[in-house]
C-alpha cells in the first residue's frame, strides 16, 4: 500500500498517527499548527503544505479535527487532490454533516467513510478504540487493515451518518455518566465517606460506569484532569445528539438535563478545560473535593 494521509494532529490524531508509524505505514501529514508535525517528521513522515497536497499524494486520507465546519472545509480541500479516493472522517460531526459532505464528495469520485471513534487518548495510544463505521461493505473490507491499527471495527450501517448517529448517542451516555457520577460521589464525600472507597464500591456494584471505571481513578481522584478532551467538545457532542433527537421527533428529557449540566460547566469552568473538570461544579456546590487521600 502507498502512503496514507492524515490531517489533524490534536490529542487523538497525534496518538493515531503514532500507531500508524509504529505499524510501519508510510504517511503524509498536514496540520494548521506546524509545531505538531515536527515529532512525526523526525520519525520519517512526509509533511505536506496543505490539505490539497495530502489529497495529491494519498488515496486514503484520515481526518481528525474538532468541529463539523472544519471537517466540511478540509474534506473539500482534500478532494481537490489528484490521488485521493477515500476520506475517513474520525471526527464527531453529527449525521447531517456527514451525509452532506458525502453528497458533496460523490460527484468528484471520492467516498466519505464515516468513522467516529471512542476510547479517548489512552485508547488511541493503545490501539483499543471502538470505531463506528458507516460505510459500504466494500469500503470497510478495503480499509479494515488500517482501521484495525486503531482498534476494533464496528460496522454500524452502509451509509455515512450512521457511524455519527452511534457516536453522538455514545457520547451522550458518557456525558451523562460523568455528570451523575460527579453528583453522587460528591454527595458521598460530603456525607463523610472516603473517596477511594466510594469509587471502589461503585465499581464493584451496579453504579459503575465509564466515569467510575476510568475517569475517577485516572483523572479525578488523582486531580490530574488530563483526559485530553475539552468541555466544549463534549457540549458540542451532546448538542448534536439533541439535534438528532429533534430530527427524529423525540423528546429526551434526560438528554436535555445532561446538556444543561455541560452548558453550566462551559460557562463556569471554561470550554477549553478538560472535560473531567465537570466534577468541580458539584464539588463547589458541596464545598468538598473528591480526591484520593494519597494525593494530599
Q: What are phi and psi of 241, to 5 degrees?
A: -65, -40
**Inter-residue contact 101 to 124 (CB < 8 Å):** no
Residue 236 annotated to the active site: no
Which of 126, 167, 215, 272 is flagged as catalytic?
167
- Which residues have a catalytic role annotated? 167
Amino acid at each position: 500500500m502507498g502512503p496514507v494521509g492524515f490531517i489533524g494532529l490534536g490529542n487523538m490524531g497525534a496518538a493515531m498517527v503514532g500507531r500508524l508509524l509504529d505499524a510501519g505505514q508510510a504517511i503524509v501529514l498536514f496540520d494548521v499548527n506546524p509545531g505538531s508535525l515536527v515529532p512525526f517528521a523526525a520519525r520519517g513522515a512526509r509533511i505536506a503544505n496543505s490539505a490539497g497536497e495530502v489529497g495529491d499524494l494519498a488515496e486514503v486520507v484520515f481526518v481528525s479535527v474538532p468541529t463539523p465546519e472544519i471537517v466540511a472545509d478540509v474534506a473539500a480541500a482534500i478532494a481537490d487532490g489528484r490521488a485521493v479516493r477515500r476520506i475517513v472522517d474520525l471526527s464527531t460531526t453529527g449525521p447531517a454533516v456527514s451525509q452532506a459532505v458525502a453528497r458533496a464528495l460523490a460527484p468528484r469520485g471520492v467516498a466519505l467513510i464515516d468513522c467516529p471513534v471512542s476510547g479517548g487518548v489512552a485508547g488511541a495510544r493503545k490501539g483499543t478504540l471502538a470505531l463506528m463505521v458507516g460505510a459500504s461493505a466494500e469500503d470497510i473490507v478495503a480499509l479494515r487493515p488500517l482501521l484495525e491499527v486503531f482498534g476494533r471495527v464496528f460496522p454500524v450501517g452502509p451509509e455515512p451518518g450512521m457511524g455519527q448517529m452511534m457516536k453522538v448517542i455514545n457520547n451522550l451516555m458518557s456525558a451523562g455518566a460523568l455528570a451523575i457520577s460527579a453528583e453522587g460521589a460528591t454527595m458521598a464525600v460530603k456525607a463523610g465517606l472516603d473517596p477511594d472507597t466510594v469509587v471502589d464500591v461503585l465499581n464493584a456494584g451496579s453504579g459503575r460506569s465509564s466515569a467510575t471505571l476510568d475517569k475517577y481513578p485516572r483523572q479525578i481522584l488523582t486531580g490530574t484532569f488530563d483526559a485530553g478532551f475539552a468541555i466544549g467538545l463534549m457540549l458540542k457532542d451532546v448538542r448534536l445528539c439533541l439535534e438528532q433527537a429533534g430530527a427524529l421527533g423525540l423528546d429526551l428529557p434526560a438528554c436535555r438535563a445532561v446538556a444543561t449540566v455541560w452548558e453550566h460547566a462551559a460557562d463556569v469552568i471554561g470550554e477549553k478545560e478538560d472535560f473531567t473538570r465537570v466534577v468541580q461544579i458539584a464539588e463547589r456546590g458541596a464545598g468538598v473535593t473528591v480526591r484520593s487521600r494519597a494525593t494530599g
